[in-house]
Structure formats: structure tokens, C-alpha cells
Amino acid sequence: MMLQLPALACCGALMAGARSGAVREQPWNAYGMTGLSLCAVVLTFSMVPRVLDMAITHPGWNICKFIGLTLCGVAWRQSWHPAGWALQGFFLGNILPMMAVAGYLYQDSPLRVCNAYGLQDQQTTGLLLNTFVVAVAAGWLWQVLRATSSRNDEPINW
């Protein structure tokens, strides 16, 4: 979960970056809302333990996982900058706590949540997921503070 899912999303983001040099505002993706909403739905669905099990045991679910997470990366790349700080904060404020709860569930559950993974793998995944949440939140807050404190850099994208 902590290797393949982020790698698929990163591949989608890289594909979107290679497709166009500059992100243009699309009418269907005003302020990045549609793309970030797609990311939220895909990420929420991808962390459900039953879906993780189904992706391992059924090839159709695995294909859906590959397509969904790749599209999530494309949508994120096309939507992140047009969203601005406020919508980015709203998106992260919804997704990161959900990831932290899933990480806590994986880390502290005495029983296996996913049937396809061992208990030790599940606990390691929970720890890595919570570490990822803290790193993303700290990195985003650092960028916001840096951008708002420097007066001669780019304007604040509220």
C-alpha cells in the first residue's frame, strides 16, 4: 500500500507534467475543484481494507486500482496550483486526517485488517502512513508560511 499506491499516483502526475508545460484553467475544473474531488474519492476508496484485498485477488479490481490511481495523479497535477492555498488546505484538511485514522487503525489493530497482508506488514504500513501524513502536512505548512512571509516573491494564491 505504501509503495505501489503512491508510485501509481506519481506516475500519473509525471504523465500530466510531460503532456503540457503549463497548467491551464479548464472550465470543468474551475479552481481545481473537480480534480481534487476526484483525488479525494479515489484516495478514500483506495484505503478501504476490503478494496485492498479485492485488488490482490481479482484482476479486474487491480486494473481499476491502476487506472484510478494514475488518474488521481493526473488530476492532482492539473488541479493543485489552480486551487490556491485555501482549497489546498481544505483538501489536505479532509484527506490527511482520514489517512491518519486509517494509519492508526492499521498500526494499532491487534487483528489483521487486510486478509492479504500479515499483521507485521499491516503495522508497518500504519506507521509509514502516519509518517507520510505528518510529512505532507509539515511540508505544505512550510510552503504556506514561506510564501506568506516573503513580500517580494510571488503573490499569495488565495
Q: What is the pLDDT of residues 37-96, one digit of tens each?
A: 999 999 999 989 999 999 999 999 999 999 999 999 999 999 999 999 999 999 999 999
The verdict on residue 73 lying in a domain is yes
Query: CB under 8 Å to 108, separation ≥6 — which residues?
Result: 123, 126
What's the one-letter identity of residue 83? A
- Assign 158 a pLDDT band (cuts: 50, 70, 90): low
Return the pLDDT at 156: 54
Query: Does the residue 78 lie in any domain?
Result: yes
- Decide if 103 contacts 127 (C-beta within 8 A): yes
Give the pLDDT of residue 28: 84
Range of the domain at 9: 4-149
- For residue 151, pLDDT beyond 70: no
Could you read off the pLDDT of 10-38 as tens digits, one per residue?
A: 999 999 887 665 556 678 888 999 999 99
- pLDDT at position 20: 61
Q: Give pLDDT, residue 121.
A: 92
Q: How many alpha carbons fall within 13 Å on the CB side of residue 136?
A: 18
pLDDT of residue 80: 93
The number of folded domains in the chain is: 1
Mean pLDDT of 91-113: 94
Helices (H) and strands (E) in the chain, counts: 5, 0
Check whether 9 has a pLDDT greater than 70.
yes
SS3 at position 96: helix
Residue 156 covered by a domain: no
- Is 49 among the domain residues? yes
- The C-alpha cell at 43 is 484516495
Domain assignment of residue 67, yes or no: yes
In this predicted structure, the answer to whether residue 157 has a pLDDT above a threshold of 60 is no
Structure letter (DSSP) for residue 28: G
Pick the residue with more confidence: 32 or 152?
A: 32
Q: Kindly state whether residue 84 falls inside one of the protein's structural domains.
A: yes
Specify the pLDDT at position 26. Answer: 76
CB-based contact 75:39 (threshold 8 Å): yes
